[in-house]
Structures are given as C-alpha cells and as structure tokens.
C-alpha cells in the first residue's frame, strides 16, 4: 500500500506540474493583432522606377539548422536542432553567401530565428543584416513565437523557446510594412506551442506612377492535418489579391506556400505519407495573376533523414515561388539549386520589370 500511495503522489504531482505549465504558457501565449505595422530598419532613399530590371529572391532558410546532414522530428526524423552551434553557424554562413552571390534587389526570407533555443540563440536577423550591409532596408515580423515547445521528447534536443519569423530586405525605400495575421489556429493546447502564420505586406512608391509596388513575404501552414488552416489562409490571400487588383497596384507575392503549385502537380509523386504537400486548387488564382516558378528542380526536400539524392526515401516538393500581377513583366525565374547544403529549401530568384 505504501508503494501504491507513493505512485499516486508522484502521478498527482506530475499532473499538477503539467497543469501549472500549461496555465503559464496560456497566459503568456503570443496573440498578434490582425494587422500590425512592422518597423523598417535602415530604410533607403532610392525609389523604384518603371521599366527598370529588378531581381527578387525568396528563400526559406530553415533557421540555418536544416542543412544536408539534418533530419527533423515532424518530418519523420528524430532531431529538434543541430548537434552544435558551430554546425548551425556553418549553415548560416553558407546561406548568407548565397544571398550575397545573388545580389538581388529584394530578399524574402522565411524561418529566420531572432532568439531560439533550436538555433543556439543566434540572432540570425541581425547577422543577415550585417552580412548584406548598409545598402539594404529590412523588416522582421514573427511567424512563430512560443515560450516553450516540448518536441522532440528529449532532455537535450527539445526545441524550447522560439522567436522566429519573416525577414525582408530591400535596396529601395519602403513606405510601409504591415504584418497580416492569417485566420485560423490550432485548438488548445497545441496552439500555445505552435506557429502564428502570417504574411508581411511591403508598400513602395514608384516614380512617375500613382500606383504602388506591393511586395508580400509569406510562410503558410504545413502541419495542419486536414488542411482547414490552409483553406482559410488561401481565402485570405485571394481576397487580398483581388483588393490589390482593384487598386491597380503592382503585386508580387513570394515565399513558402507549403502547397504544390498547380503546374507542379505530379512532378514529384509522394514516395511515402510522412508529410505530403497538399495540391493547390487549380482555380485559386484571381484573374490578372500568374504563378512564376522554376519546375526544373525541387524547391524543398522532406527531412525524414539526412539528405541523400540516391536514396528512394528522399522526397521532393515544389512549394516555393511567386505570384505576380499582369502589370509586371517577368523575364526569368531560376531555382538556385544548391543541393540542400544549407537548408531544406532551395532559393528561387525572379527577374522582372514594372510595366
């Protein structure tokens, strides 16, 4: 009886501790507004012009922790972070070299950690800004902010505290940057340790035009089970695109959509059902818009294991790219295929003109 009593006491204590933890995490949960202005750091003075050639790059950098030697617990792997800070820093240096080599006018980056246990508290936002230098304005907005993420179940490898989000760079003056919270959320208690998906809308003046250039950086839902979050997010994005079309603005949306684009359906059939990217609705795009993609290489890989292009268990996706309004002429879209050395995504580069 004494042993049974001790077991009951231990179990009751654990329940109380878990209850206290969930209560605390609920109280301090990140609850963003529907729309909030995002500060522009190091804003530039040069203004965009019509009929000039510009270049933009979108890149999910995977918090510089999902390179070629990594797997991830949510993709069928086991890890929550890299084996050491030096490994993460090596990936980050490689990512920044890709950015510098592109010399784009705009960079749309996703999964950039500002302060997170999973990336050894490296301020990647500041590091990226220092790497690109004073010729770029930049913004940062949260896409994931949580006091404690308990996965994977490990005393050393758990994700823990997370501050991560969307970082955008520009060689041109930003008039305004606004974070838009996507609708929908996970049920409690999953919600308190999960992402708060968003898109950041950057507005630019154009010399000689009363219209604006609207540049959107987004990262949409991935692990939402039946896809209801994606449906709400896509409906929100579609309404936004329609509104901008009515205003006559020049619109470019880039990022990680976490869905297979209509033109890419069937290129990389699922080899397993660990994580299957939903097919985007073929009639999603409003009139006056087009997808701009490079279908010659995958834009993402599954993190079920370290990268091995010869292994049949290696799963690919095309889920990164751009949506562009028809008053923008696109001259080239290129997947900068780096073999997933530094991230589980490849960067996508687009060259364009404002007509």
- 36-56 pLDDT, tens digit per residue, is 999 999 999 999 999 999 999
For the cut 80, the answer to whether the pLDDT of residue 6 exceeds it is no
Answer whether 301's CB lies under 8 Å from 66's CB.
no
Percent of the residues in the chain that have a pLDDT greater than 90, as a whole number: 78
CA end-to-end span of the chain: 82
Q: Between 18 and 96, name the one with better pLDDT.
A: 96
What pLDDT does residue 195 have?
A: 79
Structure tokens at 268: 């990389």
Q: How does strand 320-325 pair with strand 289-292?
A: antiparallel
Rounded CA separation 292/290 (Å) = 6
Q: How many CA atoms lie within 13 A of 326 on its CB side?
A: 9
For the cut 80, the answer to whether the pLDDT of residue 166 exceeds it is yes
Percent of the residues in the chain that have a pLDDT greater than 70, as a whole number: 91
Instruction: Tell me the pLDDT band of 189, cut-offs 50, 70 and 90.
Output: low
Helix axes 124-132, 85-102, angle to 10 degrees: 40
Instruction: Tell me the pLDDT band of 127, cut-offs 50, 70 and 90.
Output: very high
Mean pLDDT value across residues 302-308? 96
Topology classification of domain 32-354? Deoxyribonuclease I; Chain A (3.60.10)
Answer whether 56's CB lies under 8 Å from 216's CB.
no
Rounded CA separation 178/218 (Å) = 12
Mean pLDDT value across residues 177-203? 85
């Amino acid at each position: 009886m004494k042993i049974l009593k001790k077991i009951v006491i231990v179990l009751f204590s654990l329940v109380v501790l878990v209850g206290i933890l969930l209560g605390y995490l609920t109280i301090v949960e990140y609850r963003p507004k529907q729309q909030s202005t995002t500060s522009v750091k190091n804003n530039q003075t040069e203004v965009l012009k019509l009929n000039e050639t510009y270049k933009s790059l979108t890149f999910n950098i995977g918090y510089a922790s999902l390179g070629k030697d990594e797997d991830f617990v949510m993709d069928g792997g086991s890890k929550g972070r890299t084996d050491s800070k030096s490994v993460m820093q090596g990936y980050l240096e490689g990512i920044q070299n890709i950015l510098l080599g592109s010399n784009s006018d705009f960079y749309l980056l996703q999964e950039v950690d500002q302060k997170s246990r999973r990336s050894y508290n490296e301020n990647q936002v500041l590091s990226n800004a220092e790497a690109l230098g004073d010729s770029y304005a930049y913004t940062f907005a949260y896409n994931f902010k949580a006091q404690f993420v308990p996965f994977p179940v490990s005393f050393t490898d758990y994700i823990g505290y997370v501050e991560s989000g969307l970082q955008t760079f520009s060689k041109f003056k930003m008039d305004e940057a606004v974070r838009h919270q996507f609708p929908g959320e996970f049920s409690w208690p999953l919600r308190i340790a999960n992402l708060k998906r968003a898109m950041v809308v950057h507005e630019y003046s154009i010399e000689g035009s009363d219209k604006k250039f609207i540049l959107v950086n987004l990262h949409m839902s991935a692990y939402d089970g039946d896809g209801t979050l994606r449906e709400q997010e896509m409906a929100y994005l579609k309404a936004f695109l329609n509104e901008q079309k009515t205003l006559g603005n020049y619109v470019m949306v880039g990022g990680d959509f976490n869905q297979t684009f209509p033109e890419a359906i069937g290129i990389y059939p699922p080899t397993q059902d660990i994580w299957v990217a939903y097919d985007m609705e073929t009639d999603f795009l409003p009139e006056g818009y087009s997808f701009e993609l490079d279908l010659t290489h995958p834009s993402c890989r599954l993190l079920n294991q370290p990268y091995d292009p010869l292994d049949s268990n290696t799963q690919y996706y095309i889920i990164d790219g751009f949506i562009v309004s028809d008053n923008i002429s696109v001259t080239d879209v290129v997947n900068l295929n780096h073999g997933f050395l530094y991230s589980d995504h490849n960067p996508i580069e687009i060259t364009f003109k404002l007509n």
